[in-house]
């Protein structure tokens, strides 16, 4: 399934990746149980590699980033709230399309990730 983006663009945009399983909004269901340890290592590397950007941001802006862990944990908790809302709407039949079955399971994962960032939960396979 290859579609042109609905947003106006100056040039033709070619989509990257395999969108044969994509929903109409271009989202693709993530099958986390199929991710190998090597896949997990790649994502862990990508995340770790981005951490120095925080220091560069602080140096350029002068913002205090010493409590970035708090903001990261807060982001996880906000995602948990969003996932819970999606799960509730899906359970009530108010969501169109497929791929919302795992939303409820993601709530606990997001909360646990937030607690882990704050040092209050066991390590996750991030």
pTM above 0.75, yes or no: no
Task: State the alpha helices, DSSP H only, in the chain.
Answer: 37-50, 52-61, 68-91, 103-117
* 1 falls within a domain: no
* 3 falls within a domain: no
Give me the domain span that covers residue 64: 33-117
* 5 falls within a domain: no
Give pLDDT tens digits for 26-53: 666 766 667 778 877 887 788 788 888 8
Nearest partner of 105 among 86, 92, 126, judged by Cα: 86
* 65 falls within a domain: yes
Total tally of structural domains belonging to the chain: 1
Q: What are phi and psi for residue 52, nearest 5 degrees?
A: -60, -20
* 12 falls within a domain: no
Tell me: pLDDT of 57 over 70.
yes
């Amino acid at each position: 399934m290859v579609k042109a983006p609905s947003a106006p663009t100056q040039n033709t945009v070619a989509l990257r990746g395999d969108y044969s399983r994509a929903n109409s909004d271009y989202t693709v269901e993530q099958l986390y149980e199929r991710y190998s340890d090597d896949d997990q290592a790649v994502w862990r590397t990508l995340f770790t590699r981005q951490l120095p950007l925080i220091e560069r941001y602080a140096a350029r802006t002068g913002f205090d980033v010493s409590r970035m862990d708090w903001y990261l944990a807060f982001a996880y908790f906000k995602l948990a709230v969003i996932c819970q809302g999606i799960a509730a709407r899906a359970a009530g039949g108010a969501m169109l399309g497929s791929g919302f079955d795992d939303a409820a399971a993601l709530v606990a994962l997001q909360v646990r990730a937030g607690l882990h960032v704050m040092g209050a939960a066991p390590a996750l396979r991030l």
